[in-house]
């Protein structure tokens, strides 16, 4: 309980630093007294609306690995803490997608469901098992290959074992996964949302601005990333279900999702479209192909008027954001390995910047164990602690 109060105190102090003119100093003193009394009597405390909204924004600002957090104050927050039925959760998530997509002018948005009860060993009230609310399936083939996204292979198989039954002709490289929603720790129910509401997908067919052959690859991607398996922590209170989205930076799609060998591994096919010499890596065919793939991504999103960042503009925006933070109490922390883009790294300002790697624990986003995790620590070989995971 003492640790929870310390984290709550740190959060309220941050709130006071960033919103000094929003209220008189006595307000913060009284609020801390109220929080302390609540923790002493119940073992926890409840955020009011103002704290929930600011806390979600501050957690984004504190996220060391996010290059787009200079827009942290623009986050839209949906308070879903009272929602607890499967259908109501599903409807809230649909509302989130519609609001966030905003006809292509994507809004950063978060939906926050019930917090974890620190006094109880009961299962979380609401959990979403999907990594992202919009994600493509990965189907294991008889020859050992994967149709679709290899990253989704295990989750796809779990959905198939749990009543998801797409028709054979629906199994493609870009089959949207259903939602797996668990209430009160019960086995997750499968919601094939995009079969019922395909308009929620908002996919972008990819084409190259100059190369007609590229279109024959029949590639596409969805409009926005919407992470759904991370925990939000505000002042020590854990919200295990708090799906959130920003908008893409082009390299996330063109240099990672579609290009990584462990993902779609499309560089050889792109190189073929451009008649590149793939016999030796010294021809730099991979470098040339990845640039053209990223050009196609940016061109296609711009064509469809869907917001997307490029790695040059986004890193310069982040650089300016860091320069404006002159108050040491509001210092910017960061993880260099995530803030440097995967292509043309040395041509972006983040490449030559240094960042404080300290992870703010009281208010942030963290990875969490899957709800059905059977992993057990052993005294002989305890797992290494990661600052980006819930302890």
- Tell me which of 51, 247, 273, 292 is the catalytic residue: 247
How far apart (Å, rounded) are the C-alpha atoms in residues 353 and 363? Answer: 24
Q: Which of 31, 69, 127, 135 is catalytic?
A: 69
Longest pairwise C-alpha distance within the chain: 71
For 229-251, write each residue's pLDDT tens digit: 999 999 999 999 999 999 999 99
Q: What angle do CA 341, 345, 346 make, to 5 degrees?
A: 155
Spatial CA neighbour of 321 closest among 112, 68, 87, 134: 68
The list of the chain residues with pLDDT below 70 reads: 1, 20-23, 326, 328-329, 372-384
User: Distance (Å, rounded) from C-alpha 125 to C-alpha 366?
Assistant: 18
State the pLDDT at residue 18. 87
Q: Give pTM, 2 decimals.
A: 0.94
Residue 23 has what pLDDT? 66
pLDDT at 332: 84
> What is each CA distance from 247 to 102, 233, 366, in whole angstroms?
12, 22, 19
247 is catalytic: yes
Q: Which of 348, 353, 359, 350 is nearest to 385 (CA)?
A: 359
What are the tens digits of pLDDT across the range 254-278? 999 999 999 999 999 999 999 999 9
Of the candidates 189, 180, 185, 159, the residue with the CA atom closest to the CA atom of residue 171: 159
Is residue 319 among the annotated active site residues?
no
Residue 355 CA to residue 316 CA, distance in Å, equals: 15
Q: Which two tokens stand for residue 2?
A: 């003492």
Catalytic, 69? Answer yes
288 belongs to the catalytic site: no
Task: Indicate which residue of 61, 127, 241, 252 is catalytic.
Answer: 252
52-72: b (≥16 Cβ within 10 Å) or e: bbbbbbbbbbbbbebbbbbbb
- Candidate list 31, 60, 66, 273, residue with the active-site label: 66
Query: Is residue 230 classed as helix, strand or coil in its secondary structure?
Result: coil
């Amino acid at each position: 309980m003492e640790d929870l109060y310390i984290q709550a105190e740190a959060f309220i102090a941050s709130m006071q630093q960033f919103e000094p003119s929003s209220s008189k100093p006595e307000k913060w003193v009284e609020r801390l007294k109220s929080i302390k009394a609540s923790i002493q009597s119940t073992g926890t405390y409840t955020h009011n609306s103002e704290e929930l909204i600011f806390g979600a924004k501050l957690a984004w600002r504190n996220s060391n690995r996010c290059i787009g957090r200079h827009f942290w104050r623009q986050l839209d927050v949906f308070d879903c803490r009272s929602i607890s039925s499967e259908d109501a959760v599903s409807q809230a998530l649909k509302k989130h997608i519609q609001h966030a997509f905003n006809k292509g002018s994507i809004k950063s948005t978060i939906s926050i469901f019930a917090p974890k009860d620190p006094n109880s060993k009961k299962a979380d009230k609401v959990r979403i098992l999907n990594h992202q609310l919009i994600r493509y399936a990965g189907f294991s083939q008889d020859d050992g290959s994967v149709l679709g996204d290899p990253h989704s292979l295990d989750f796809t198989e779990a959905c198939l074992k749990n009543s998801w039954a797409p028709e054979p002709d629906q199994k493609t490289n870009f089959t949207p996964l259903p939602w797996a929603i668990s209430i009160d720790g019960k086995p997750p129910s499968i919601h094939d949302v995009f079969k019922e509401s395909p308009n929620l997908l908002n996919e972008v067919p990819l084409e190259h601005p100059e190369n007609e052959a590229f279109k024959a690859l029949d590639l596409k991607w969805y409009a926005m990333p919407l992470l759904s398996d991370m925990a939000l922590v505000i002042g020590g209170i854990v919200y295990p279900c708090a799906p959130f989205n920003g908008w893409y930076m082009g390299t996330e799609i063109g240099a990672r999702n579609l290009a990584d060998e462990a993902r779609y591994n499309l560089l050889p096919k792109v190189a073929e479209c451009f008649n590149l010499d793939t016999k030796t890596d010294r021809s730099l065919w991979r470098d040339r192909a990845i640039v053209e793939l990223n050009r196609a991504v940016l061109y296609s999103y711009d064509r469809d008027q869907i917001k997307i960042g490029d790695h040059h503009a986004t890193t310069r925006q982040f650089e300016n954001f860091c320069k404006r933070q002159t108050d040491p109490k509001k210092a910017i922390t960061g993880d260099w390995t995530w803030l440097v883009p995967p292509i043309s790294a040395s041509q972006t300002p983040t490449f030559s910047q240094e960042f404080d790697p300290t992870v703010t624990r009281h208010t942030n986003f963290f990875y969490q164990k899957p709800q059905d995790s059977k992993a057990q620590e052993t005294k002989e070989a305890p797992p290494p602690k990661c600052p980006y995971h819930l302890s």
